[in-house]
Structure 1
Amino acid sequence: MSDTPIVDSSFTAVINAPIEKIDLPGWCFSLAEKEYQGCSPAHIAAGFTTTPDGRRMSINVEIIGGSLMVQHYVETLGRKDHLVLESVSDVFTPSGRTTMHILWEMSVRAIDDQRCEFTNHVRSTATDEFRIFLDRQGIPLDVARAQRQPMSIAHNQNETPLFAASIERAALRN
C-alpha cells in the first residue's frame, strides 16, 4: 500500500446539541439510506455490515468528479466523540476500475453545554493499484492529484454541514 497523498481535506460545522447526546458510531452504523442521500447530491446508497472478523463496516456509494466510488469503511476507532474509518475503495472511472485508500475521520468537541463543533476530515492516498492504473495511461500522479483535489475538497465541504445536521437530528431524537 502506498502512502502517497492524493487529497487531504477537513471542514467543520456546528451541531446544536450537547456533546453528551452525540454518538458518531451510533449515527454512522444506523444511517438510513435516504438520510445518507440527503447529505449530498453525489450520495447514491449506504448500508452497513461487518467484516469477517466482526468489525463494523459502513458501505457508501457515491460519485465524485464523474467516478463512481464504492467505499468499504471499516471502523478503526469508535468513540462517541471520535470515529475513524478506513477503506480501500473501488473507483470506477471512464478509463476503468482501480482502488484508492481513504481514511475518514469524524470528531466532535464541545463549544458550550448546548453546542459542539463537528469536524469531517477525509484523506485519500494512492494504492499500488492506483499507481499502476495511472502508469498504464501515462498519467503522472501529480496530474491525477491536481484533477482530483478540487472535486473531492468541494464534495467534503458541501457534505460536512449536512452530515452535522443529520448527526444533530439523531442526537436530539435520543
Structure 2
Amino acid sequence: MEDYEVVNSSFTATINAPIDRIDLPEWCFSLSEKEYQGCSPAHITAGFTTAPDGRRMSINVEIIGGSLMVQHYVETLGNKDHLVLESISDIFTPTGRTTIKVLWEMSVKAIDGERCEFTNHVRTTATDDFKSFLDRQGIPFDVFRAQRQPMSIAHNRGETPLFAASIERAALRNRAPRLVG
C-alpha cells in the first residue's frame, strides 16, 4: 500500500520536573478520565486495557473536526522517556464509519536537572478501508487531507502543553522530600 499520510505533526512543551521523575508509560496507562479530559476540550474519555496479545492498550475517545474517534493505542515501545503507541482507530462520521491508522509518539529529554522538553508527535495514515470510504463518496484523498490537516494540527498544538502539564503533575506527585545536608 502506498503511504497515504494524512497528518504528521509534532509539538513540544516544557515539563518542570527532572527527567528521572518522569515515566511516560506509567502516566499514559494510569491517566484518569478527568485528567485526560483536562488535556483538550475535544477529549471525551480514556481508559486502559490489554490487547489480545497481552500488550498494554490505551483507549481514547475524542472528537476532531466533528468526527468521533475511538483510538485503540497499543504500546509498541514503552521506555520511561519514550512511548510509542499505534492504533487502527475507528472514525464515526455523518456519512458512516471507517478506520485510520494513528501513530502517537511521546518523548522527553532533559533540558537541565529540573526541566525536560516534552515532544508530542502524531502521524495518521489512511487505511485501505479509509481510502475506499473516500472513494465511495467521490472525495479525492488530497482534498480530504487539505481539510483535515488544519484541524488535527490545531488539536495536537493545543493538547501538547496540557499533556506536558499533566505529566509534570504526575512526576511531582508524592515526590519524596530532598535531603539537605
| TM-score interval (norm. to shorter) | over 0.9
Instruction: Please report how far the alpha carbon of residue 34 of structure 1 lies from its aligned counterpart in structure 2 after TM superposition.
Output: 0.2
Q: Give the C-alpha shift of residue 2 in structure 1.
A: 5.3
Q: TM-score, normalised by structure 1?
A: 0.99
Residue identity opposite 1:56 in structure 2: R
* Residues 48-93 of structure 1 deviation map (CA, whole Å, 9 limit, x = unaligned): 0001111000000000000000000000000000000000000001
Instruction: Tell me which moved more, 2-11 or 28-37.
Output: 2-11
| Structure 1 runs (4+) greater than 3 angstroms displaced | none
TM-score between the two structures when normalised by the length of structure 2:
0.95
Q: Which structure's CA Rg is the greater one?
A: 2
Q: Percent identity?
A: 83
What is the aligned partner in structure 1 of residue 12 from structure 2? 12
What amino acid maps onto 1:130 in structure 2? Answer: F
Unaligned runs of 5+ in 1: none
Summarize deviations over 1:76-121 as a string: whole Å, max 9, x none: 0000000000000000011111000000000000000000000000
Note if contact 1:36-1:45 (Cα within 8 Å) is conserved in structure 2.
yes
| Amino acid aligned to 2:137 | Q
- 1:3 aligns to what SS in structure 2? coil
- Counterpart Cα distance in 2 of 1:28 and 1:40: 15
SS of 1:44 mapped into structure 2: strand
Match of 2:165 in 1: 165
| Partner of residue 131, structure 2 | 131
Q: CA deviation at 1:3?
A: 2.5
**Number of matched pairs:** 174
Q: 1:2 to 1:127 in 2, by over 3 A?
A: farther
User: What is the CA-CA distance between 1:45 and the residue it aligns to?
Assistant: 0.4
Partner of 1:44: 44
**Residues 143/73 of structure 1: CA separation in 2 closer, same or farther (3 Å cut):** same
- Whole-Å Cα distance in 1 between the matches of residues 116 and 2 of structure 2? 35
Let me know the Cα RMSD of the aligned residues: 0.8
Aligned 8 A contact 1:2 1:125 in 2: no
C-alpha distance after superposition, 1:9-48 (max 9, x if no partner):
0000000000000000000000000000000000000000
